[in-house]
Amino acid sequence: MGQTLTEKIIANHLVVGEMVKGQEIGIRIDQTLTQDSTGTMAYLQFEAMEVPRVKTKKSLAYIDHNMLQEGPENMDDHRYIQSVTKKHGVYFSKPGNGICHQVQIERFGVPGDTLVGSDSHTPTGGGIGMLAIGAGGLDVAVAMAGDPYYIIMPKVVQVELTGKLRTGVSSKDVILEVLRQCTVKGGVNKVFEYTGPGVKTLTVPERATITNMGAELGATTSIFPSDEMTEKFLKAQGRQGDFKVFSADADAVYDEIVKVDLSTLEPLTACPHSPDKVVKVSEIEGMPVNQVAIGSCTNSSWLDLMKVAKIMKGKTIAENVSFVIAPGSKQVLTMLAENGALADLLNAGARILECGCGPCIGMGQAPCTDAVSLRTFNRNFFGRSGTPSADVYLLSPETAAVSALAGVLTNPLGKVELSDIEMPNEFLLNDTMVMEPAPEGTEVEVIKGPNIKPFPETKPLQKEVAGKALIVVEDNITTDHIMPSNAKLLPYRSNIPYLSNYCLTPCDAEFPQRAIDNGGGFIVGGSNYGQGSSREHAALAPVYLGIKGVAVKSFARIHKNNLINNGILPLEFVNEADYDTIALNDELAIEDALSAVKAGEAKLINKTKGLTYTMKIEVSERQKEMLIAGGLINLIKSKK
């Protein structure tokens, strides 16, 4: 029986365990990436391990999130990251060089290699055939130190693509269709592997859009084969030496199959406030629009923006529309400037933002009150734009561009002509904004500004774990809810004591003070708790507030791992109906938590109601050790 592409790469990198679906395995990591929103904490954790030099093939640190510098906090973080990476062997991409995922795929990604990054959209690298996985910062720090990265051996979903996209339909519509079919929780512990004759029709940037937004499925990652299209892209980037052919065997067996006929696909949009609330654009066409934003790591490539420039050339955006564009990299922006496309965008009325994440993570460009904002981004969670009353729709660059011109949501099918927009034979190559690390052994001073605080220390697990239900929240709570991300809070990503004052405040403004007043306790939630960003702060802030356990119907993958890494018990209801019997301030307790962790099952007693709930603690033997030690850092220290 043949292997899938996913299985081949895992087999080539397996160092711990066996490739049995559902079992924990450890794989060797070739590359890592961090960004500045999560990177500061990751490097503080790396320093705590006292490893002098990273042990990967290549590790990179990007500055792309915290770009606004209203005070010294963001630049202090940038200076710390630049100094600590220079000391420990990590390449540093300066602010303005571009979004981590866009630059990584342009300049550093290698087919067949493994990549783990402290950003949930790291699977973008699957567009060139990497096994690229998003993780919490501590997991990335451990990988940089040379230890394996652990995952559940995933099921592999075959996404069979047939036909060819029509003009006006884009790869964004492909991933929106997959989300429509599979939902935001349909990919947990699965890899989505793209196959079929339709694959050959998609360029690397188009594939990267699909693998990037595959993160919204909750998937471990998504991946395309490395083929002639991959070779063409890498050759144009001056990196043909990195090309290798990687594909699934013809007789590979998949666990599930999803089918998408590209030739019949229509322009789609994800409605507020979830990436899987997908409808056809034609079904809601004509809706007045206030803002259009093009960019993010999903749709900011040269190919995307050339299509937008072609649609905009000689035209003017509607007077009621605010239109912003954030190019994905310095390479993209410079090439647009050189070929005249940038002038076309400016003449049409576009505002050009810095090469960074910007409005996608709430860093500026908040829409007006009650706005309709069309965005080519990957997430439209409630309040993420910075305006709680705004409705954000996710869609393709083509749909965004024609809608900006019309002033209303507009179906681009049959309205655009883009046949002459093709991938260039050569990209502009200029890596002057990527700083090499110092030679091994060179003395480098690590500079820490006053806003950089140590990560919270944890204690070994006690026999009894008890406290109140400090908050009860519904299904699909995101890490944006748990630890908000906006222009006011992002500068404090290296200051957990400050950030903790805002933990879960979008759900309950009194939660942080209630946690402090009660000396910690439990969080109670619904299904898919912790979906979205990989931000470890969504576990670190609860640690600081004394949270002992999180009791939910089910977890999102990365957040569950982050909780375990930081010593918080991940508890899942065996009987989901038990969730309905817990109220705010109910007294909860696990009388023998040590035995519960070892057994993988706990009895959670509701002392207020006189009820007892059976809770799963679905963790590996390695993770049991972590929970008992009080977290991964404690476990590492105990074994020195």
pLDDT digit string, tens, across residues 340-350:
999 999 999 99
**493 pLDDT tier (thresholds 50, 70, 90):** confident
Domain formed by 275-406, architecture = 2-Layer Sandwich (3.30)
pLDDT digit string, tens, across residues 584-640:
999 999 999 999 999 999 999 999 999 999 999 999 999 999 999 999 999 988 876
**55 pLDDT tier (thresholds 50, 70, 90):** very high
pLDDT digit string, tens, across residues 279-324:
999 999 999 999 999 999 999 999 999 999 999 999 999 999 999 9
In this model, does residue 419 exceed pLDDT 90?
A: no
530 SS3 class: coil
**Nearest alpha-carbon partner for 33 in 117, 121, 126:** 117
pLDDT digit string, tens, across residues 83-134:
999 999 999 999 999 999 999 999 999 999 999 999 999 999 999 999 999 9
Q: Which residues pair with 606 in a beta bridge?
A: 588, 611
Distance CA 101, CA 33 (A): 9
Segment 12-18 shows an average pLDDT of 97
Cβ atoms of 307 and 418 within 8 Å: the answer is yes
Cβ atoms of 151 and 25 within 8 Å: the answer is yes
pLDDT digit string, tens, across residues 151-205:
999 999 999 999 999 999 999 999 999 999 999 999 999 999 999 999 999 999 9
What pLDDT, on a 0 to 100 scale, did the predictor assign at position 149?
Answer: 97
For residue 180 the two structure tokens come to 């429509």
150 SS3 class: strand
What pLDDT, on a 0 to 100 scale, did the predictor assign at position 68?
Answer: 84
User: Which pTM value belongs to this model?
Assistant: 0.94
pLDDT digit string, tens, across residues 436-487:
999 987 889 999 999 999 888 899 999 999 999 999 999 999 999 999 988 8
What pLDDT, on a 0 to 100 scale, did the predictor assign at position 640?
Answer: 67
- Same-fold call for 5-264 versus 275-406: yes
What pLDDT, on a 0 to 100 scale, did the predictor assign at position 639?
Answer: 78
DSSP secondary structure letter of residue 108: I
Distance CA 594, CA 463 (A): 5
Q: What is the dihedral of CA 475, 480, 484, 486, to 10 degrees?
A: -140
Distance CA 596, CA 583 (A): 23
In this model, does residue 23 exceed pLDDT 90?
A: yes
Q: What dotted CATH number matches 465-638?
A: 3.20.19.10
Give the DSSP H or E segment for 305.
helix 302-312
Percentage above 90 pLDDT, the chain? 92
Q: Which residues pair with 134 in a beta bridge?
A: 117
What pLDDT, on a 0 to 100 scale, did the predictor assign at position 163?
Answer: 98
**C-alpha neighbours within 13 Å on the C-beta side of residue 287:** 22
Q: What dotted CATH number matches 5-264?
A: 3.30.499.10
Q: Domains of the chain: which residue ranges? A: 5-264, 275-406, 465-638
Give the DSSP H or E segment for 243.
none
Q: Which residues pair with 288 in a beta bridge?
A: 408
Cβ atoms of 590 and 603 within 8 Å: the answer is yes
Distance CA 275, CA 266 (A): 17
For residue 621, the Cα-to-chain-centroid distance in whole angstroms is 27
Query: Roughly what angle, to the nearest 10 degrees, separates helices 557-565 and 537-544?
Result: 40
pLDDT digit string, tens, across residues 494-503:
899 999 999 9
In this model, does residue 28 exceed pLDDT 80?
A: yes
* Cβ neighbours of 471 (radius 10 Å): 23
**Nearest alpha-carbon partner for 78 in 64, 91, 88, 90:** 64
Percentage above 70 pLDDT, the chain? 100
In this model, does residue 242 exceed pLDDT 70?
A: yes
Exposure b/e, 150-183, CB count within 10 A at least 16 = b: bbbbbbbbbbbbeeebbbbbbbbbbbbbbbbebb
Using alpha carbons only, give the angle 398, 479, 554 rounded to the nearest 5 degrees.
105
Place of tokens 């496309």: 341
What pLDDT, on a 0 to 100 scale, did the predictor assign at position 621?
Answer: 95
Computed over its alpha carbons, how large is the radius of gyration of the chain?
A: 23
**Nearest alpha-carbon partner for 324 in 371, 363, 285, 359:** 359
**Nearest alpha-carbon partner for 149 in 8, 16, 12:** 16
Segment 200-213 shows an average pLDDT of 98
Distance CA 452, CA 441 (A): 25
**Nearest alpha-carbon partner for 191 in 178, 173, 206:** 178
**C-alpha neighbours within 13 Å on the C-beta side of residue 223:** 33
Cβ atoms of 205 and 217 within 8 Å: the answer is no
pLDDT digit string, tens, across residues 537-596:
999 999 999 999 999 999 999 999 999 999 999 999 999 999 999 999 999 999 999 999
Distance CA 233, CA 237 (A): 6
Query: Roughly what angle, to the nearest 10 degrees, separates helices 557-565 and 137-144?
Result: 70
509 CB-near residues (< 8 Å, 6+ apart): none
